[in-house]
Amino acid sequence: MTTNTKSGNELLLKPAEESVPYDNWLSWLKRFAVNCITKNHLPIKVGKFYSADNFWMVIIVHALMNLSLDEASDRLNQILWDKENSHRRHKISPTEYKGKFKRRKRKCPNGDQTRKYRNTLPNWLVKNLNRYIFEQQIDFAKKEKLITNELDILIDNTDQWYYGKDRYPANPFITKGYNGPGTSRKRKYLGIMLKSGTTYLYCGVDIIKKSHSNVPFILETIDWLIKKGFKIRYLIGDRWFPTIELLSELPSRKIDYIGPYKKWAPVRRIIEHYIKKGGSYIVPYTIKGATKTNYGKPGIQIWLILTNRQGRRLREIRRDYKTKVKTLDECVKEIMVMATTVRPPVGKKKRQGWAVQICRVYDHRWQIETGFRDLNRISPPSNARTNTRKLFMCSARYWVYNAWQLERAKRRKLRRCPKSWKKGPTLRRFTDCTIQIGVCA
């Protein structure tokens, strides 16, 4: 991957970033997308004026600049013309074509041409493209020693609200929500992020069909990482993920699960018993599947940890109940239930330290929530109509996010430099410099 500095391409970077060159992420992403098409034996379409490189440049700029395809293509076209005239004494202007409407020569395809190119990509290629780009980014991080072979996997869902007329079951990917801004319909996406030290990278994204399980895609991504030589310690998810379908597949892969657990009726009875009579805050529990499909089958042994993540001790919550400061329902709400397949040690002090360590490991899961918020900051409007195209346009944001995280991880490795340099660029600064470097390269 080539790097560019101010002295090389005359970019107006901040002084603190002058000695920290940016990588040419725009050309990097474009090159691997084109390589994926070539690898799958698809023709690289070359028209009269534009090739596949030009179309991919617009698609990636669309994600970087948080603009629609039409706006992104117009902005890129203006940048390319400005570059053409930057060293000319006598500026040139685009050739104007004859016709009823004003049309001028362009340096890149317009939004409508880009959409037509995007729609010619087959559905299976769009799905394979995600895996290919993520694989190249992970290989780059491993080569640069930004990640190690030991990983934790974070999983969570994110919603994209929908305002169209499609409904279930005509469109099985449109589900119902309850807190949308002006709508009750949404598409649900599954995000999978890997954690290695202080580096967080998305390694999988998929759109979830209503009434279908997301476990097969999670296991497919885990198996893919294991085949690449990674060792996965923990799978960390939210309270709706620990099901018998998922947990039954983890022991064979030597992975432990950590995450909160829903307060089903049996769990609520455990909490109420603890508040009223005390006892151990680490409780063995067995998860069993639905009776129709898992009748007679053994359950999965897990351990529940009763805790409070807001700084209160359990004995303080029990004291509030006994002194009638709070009702039983209020005390139950204050207790959070953590579930894990990690077996607790023997001994009171060891079990206490073990429970604290489990909760600290779970705290890293909030990074995927932060990642979703960052993705919403680079969430360009898209008029893709099919679910596969919608996933494709959404996935481009994940590629940009990973590139940003890789750039920041490289900065953290700097030595003998001001501490402020190690923080890396902000997301907005990164996107702006990436476009300038990619166009000038």
pLDDT of residue 7: 46
Range name among 36-45, 348-357, 391-400, 401-410 with the lowest pLDDT average: 36-45
Pairwise pLDDT comparison (81 vs 292), residue with the higher score: 81
pLDDT of residue 196: 93
pLDDT of residue 228: 92
pTM for this structure? 0.86
Q: What percent of the chain has pLDDT over 90?
A: 37
pLDDT of residue 19: 45
Range name among 13-22, 59-68, 270-279, 304-313 with the lowest pLDDT average: 13-22
Spacing of C-alpha 304 from chain mean position:
28
Range name among 44-53, 55-64, 114-123, 310-319 with the lowest pLDDT average: 44-53
- Over 70: is that where the pLDDT of 117 sits? yes
User: Other CB atoms closer than 10 Å to residue 27's CB: what's the count?
Assistant: 21
Question: Is residue 280 within 8 Å of residue 352, measured between CB atoms?
Answer: no
- Over 50: is that where the pLDDT of 11 sits? no
Average pLDDT over residues 88-104: 81
pLDDT level of residue 14 (50, 70, 90 thresholds): very low
Spacing of C-alpha 360 from chain mean position:
21
pLDDT of residue 18: 46
pLDDT level of residue 6 (50, 70, 90 thresholds): very low
Average pLDDT over residues 49-56: 83
Question: Is residue 49 within 8 Å of residue 80, measured between CB atoms?
Answer: no
Q: What percent of the chain has pLDDT over 70?
A: 91
pLDDT level of residue 119 (50, 70, 90 thresholds): confident
Question: Is residue 398 within 8 Å of residue 205, measured between CB atoms?
Answer: yes
Range name among 3-12, 64-73, 272-281, 323-332 with the lowest pLDDT average: 3-12
Helix (H, G, I), strand (E, B) or coil at 193: strand
pLDDT level of residue 266 (50, 70, 90 thresholds): very high
Amino acid, res. 12: L
Question: Is residue 287 within 8 Å of residue 244, measured between CB atoms?
Answer: yes
Range name among 214-223, 242-251, 359-368, 408-417 with the lowest pLDDT average: 408-417
Question: Is residue 341 within 8 Å of residue 323, measured between CB atoms?
Answer: no
- Over 50: is that where the pLDDT of 25 sits? yes
- Distance (Å, whole) CA 54 – CA 69: 13
Range name among 156-170, 231-245, 413-427 with the lowest pLDDT average: 413-427
Positive or negative: CA dihedral 274, 279, 283, 285: negative
Range name among 27-36, 50-59, 209-218, 243-252 with the lowest pLDDT average: 27-36
Beta bridge partners of 257: 235
- Distance (Å, whole) CA 349 – CA 99: 83
pLDDT level of residue 41 (50, 70, 90 thresholds): low
Question: Is residue 263 within 8 Å of residue 337, measured between CB atoms?
Answer: yes
pLDDT of residue 141: 92
* Average pLDDT over all residues of the chain: 85
Average pLDDT over residues 46-70: 82
Pairwise pLDDT comparison (392 vs 266), residue with the higher score: 266
Q: How many helices and strands, by DSSP H and E, does the chain display?
A: 17, 13
Angle CA 339–328–307, to nearest 5:
30
- Over 80: is that where the pLDDT of 24 sits? no
Q: At what angle do helices 387-412 and 111-120 cross, to 10 degrees?
A: 100
- Distance (Å, whole) CA 353 – CA 46: 62
> In Å, how far are 186, 215, 386 from 178, measured between CA atoms?
10, 24, 23
- Over 70: is that where the pLDDT of 16 sits? no
Query: Please, where are the H alpha helices in 206-290?
Result: 215-227, 244-247, 265-277
Question: Is residue 268 within 8 Å of residue 344, measured between CB atoms?
Answer: no
Range name among 49-63, 198-212, 271-285, 396-410 with the lowest pLDDT average: 49-63
Token duo for residue 107: 């340096």
294-350 pLDDT tens trace: 777 788 899 999 999 888 899 999 999 999 999 999 999 999 999 999 999 998 899
Token duo for residue 412: 């953290």
166-224 pLDDT tens trace: 888 888 888 888 888 888 888 899 999 999 999 999 999 999 888 888 999 999 999 99
Q: Counting every residue, how long is the chain?
A: 441
- Over 70: is that where the pLDDT of 45 sits? no
pLDDT level of residue 438 (50, 70, 90 thresholds): low
